[in-house]
Amino acid sequence: MVLTGRGVEVVGTAADGRQAVEVVRRTGPDVCLMDIRMPVLDGVAATAELTRLGCPTRVLVLTTFDLDSYVYGALRAGAAGFLLKTTPPDRLVDGIATVAAGESLLAPSLTRRLIEEHVLGPPPHEGTPAELLGLTPRELDVLRLMAGGLSNAQIQDALVVSPATVKTHVNRILGKLGLTSRVQAVVLAYETGLVRPGREDGAPGGTRTRTPRGTGT
């Protein structure tokens, strides 16, 4: 799908994951609506293949169930977010526009259950998790706030810095961790025990972790 002045334009469709990869490579859409369960190549594998190929197209995963075991794999594979297939058409169009703008999108009704069922990492511990040792103290602060569901504007207010500074920190976090999206950074923050759902995460100002929402990088 591509975004035009008139809204969303469909530039291609596919019957299975392998076709989806080929259509994306051929047409270069802004956003690919990726079904999870498809023949030949499922949505997780197709998303991973697009990431491996370096396709700039953003993948928005659609799932039928309010907790699909494949969703977590899709996010790890590089998807920009996910929505339920029951999402009303107007909200789906808004979601496509959000993802096309470079932001991440997590369906609020799914996020906490996804985290609690699939992303609960080790118990919080003293010091920095080994996977995050390459981040500066300020970048760790930003990652905690990202995982707490704060938007860039809210992080700006919490840390009393400029919008450009927040965006720079987010981009450096993704680069250092070898990640392609803000969603993956949030997942890693939970996996490593840097933050945990429903507890004080130690971020500046005592921010409590909460359900992440789609926010820009």
Tell me the C-alpha distance between 29 and 124, whole Å.
Answer: 41
Is 206 a domain residue? no
Same domain? For 24 and 66 the reply is yes
Q: 23, 57 in Cβ contact below 8 A?
A: no
pTM: 0.60
Residue at a domain's end among 88, 109, 130: 109
> Could you tell me which residues come within 8 angstroms of residue 50 by beta carbon, excluding any fewer than 6 positions away?
21, 24, 32, 57, 59, 78
Is 155 a domain residue? yes
- The residue with tokens 């409590």 is 208
Answer yes or no: is pLDDT of 143 > 90.
yes
SS3 60: strand
Tell me the C-alpha distance between 22 and 4, whole Å.
Answer: 22
pLDDT at 126: 57
Same domain? For 100 and 147 the reply is no
Q: Note the pLDDT tens digit of each residue in 37-59.
A: 888 998 889 999 998 898 999 99
CATH code at 29?
Answer: 3.40.50.2300
Note down the domain range covering 143. Answer: 120-191
Is 214 a domain residue? no
pLDDT at 81: 82
What is the pLDDT confidence band of residue 65, given thresholds at 50, 70 and 90? low
Is 197 a domain residue? no
Same domain? For 40 and 84 the reply is yes
